[in-house]
Amino acid sequence: MSNKPYDLKLRTKKFAIEILQFVDELPNKRSTNVIANQLGRSGTSVAANFRASQ
């Protein structure tokens, strides 16, 4: 794949990293952890699903 700005491999990886960084900044409360876990799983699955499709 190319290194162009619209390269989906790089964009989905960057998105997954940014999601995980965001989740790490959330307050450590029981109610927030439920949402944070789901957000982390769904946010990183975009990159994983893209790579599996290639």
Residue 11 pLDDT class (50, 70, 90 cuts): very high
Distance CA 24, CA 26 (A): 6
Q: Is a pLDDT exceeding 60 seen at residue 24?
A: yes
Cα 43 from chain centroid (whole Å): 3
How many helices, marked H, and strands, marked E, lie in the chain?
2, 0
When comparing pLDDT for 16 and 3, which is higher?
16
The HSE-up count of residue 43 (CA atoms within 13 Å, CB side) is 16
Judged by DSSP in three states, 6 sits in: coil
For the entire predicted model, the pTM comes to: 0.79
Judged by DSSP in three states, 48 sits in: helix
